[in-house]
Amino acid sequence: MASKTIINHDRLEVLKAFLIAEVSVEKTLINGLPFVPKEMIEDEEEEKEADDSHFISAYLRTVQSYKKLFRNWQAGSSIEVSKVRELIIPLFNKVMQNQSQLFLLHHYSTKADYLFHHAISVGLISGYLAKNLNYEQGDMFQIVMAGCLVDCGMAKVPPTILEKKTSLSSEEFEEVKRHPIYSLQMLQNSPLLKEAVKYAILQHHERLDGSGYPSGRRGQSPHAFSRIVAVADVYHAMTSERNYRIKQSPFKVMEMILQDDFGKFDISAVKTLLSGITNFSIGSKVKLSNGYTAEIIFIESNGPTRPMVKLLDTGEIIHLGKNREIFIEEAL
């Protein structure tokens, strides 16, 4: 056998037939990647699982710490921005070392504590977008803070509305729509936040097409920080379980943003988020709208929200781009 011959099953049988017990091989797999012994892979997987578990624990502790701060704001305390910064920035630095965890955050959100999970998750996702859109570190940290604080004004919304388990009335929704104004009022005198952050806090529900609230800024594009936080905010909201809204899979949400809400969101931020979702999704398990469980095996660049999947029960491969009636219902 010549040099560079790939040792497949048939050639291995030939070697055995000639009673050749040992050969010298290059440590390269057929796909060109270096060969790693099973023992090393297992050690790396155990280390990764430990890192993942450590981050999840840190994330859940941060959510509960934010919850305590929020309860204080509800009781009338002023916001100490430095305390929020001490919570979110170390966690952001931690998740940047293992960015795949960002795209699992919606799994941990609960109906009861949605508001607190949302604040921490939007801060982290906003920072991820800023980093990948090449913002410098100072602005990146400010965008993390913006994402974390955009809903602090919810503390001024009556608890009966926040905790309502059925759809809001039009009057109740109008009150909720005032939370960006409340947030700005609570933070406008903070010297630790740039003016750009205050724009983001006020405008994170404004849309590029002039829709949104609180002002519906037709003809005036929201600030760049606002456009980043808006994408993080709507993505986490739509992928999370809430009292009166069902959650959607990340792929379904991104498809809705790209199609149903086209023109409302900053396309560079949307594409950055979608790129992150697809990069970390190969090999992940999903539930399809037809009830089957599948594994994502390939994602095309021109159809990233509709990947190729393999059914776990039968091994059948389905191209969701060619089967439009089926979509990914939930990431497992």
Classify the phi-psi angles of 146: left when phi > 0, otherwise alpha if psi is within -120 to 50, otherwise beta. alpha
**Residues 135/136/141/145 CA torsion (nearest 10 deg):** -40
Please state whether the peptide bond connecting residue 214 to the residue before it is cis, i.e. omega within 30 degrees of 0: yes
Phi then psi dihedrals of residue 45, to 5 deg: -65, -40
Residue with more model confidence, 195 or 8: 195
Model pLDDT, residue 279: 84
Instruction: Name the band, by pLDDT with cuts 50, 70 and 90, for residue 127.
Output: very high
Q: Region 100-128: what's the mean pLDDT?
A: 94
Q: Could you count the other beta carbons within 10 Å of the beta carbon of residue 232?
A: 28
For the residues 179-184, what does the mean pLDDT come to?
96
Q: What backbone phi and psi angles, to 5 degrees, belong to 317?
A: -100, 130
The structural domains of the chain, ordered by start, are: 43-280 (1.10.3210.10), 281-332 (2.30.30)
Residue 17 is encoded by which pair of tokens?
């037939």
pLDDT in tens, 33-84: 556 565 555 555 555 565 567 889 999 999 999 999 999 999 999 999 999 9
DSSP at 134: T
Q: Name which residue leads in pLDDT, 285 or 127.
A: 127
Q: Render pLDDT for 224-237 as a digit per residue (tens, 0 to 9).
A: 999 999 999 999 99
Instruction: Tell me the pLDDT tens digit for each residue of 131-164.
Output: 999 999 999 999 999 999 999 999 999 999 998 8
Instruction: Kindly indicate the confidence band of residue 166, based on its pLDDT and cuts at 50, 70 and 90.
Output: confident
Please state, rounded to an integer, the average pLDDT across all residues of the chain.
Answer: 87
- pLDDT tens figures, 281-315: 888 888 898 999 999 998 887 888 898 999 999 99
Q: Would you state the pLDDT for residue 37?
A: 60
CA nearest to 125, candidates 154, 96, 153, 151:
96
Provide the 10 A C-beta neighbour count for residue 89. 16
- Which residues of 28-167 form beta strands (DSSP E)? none
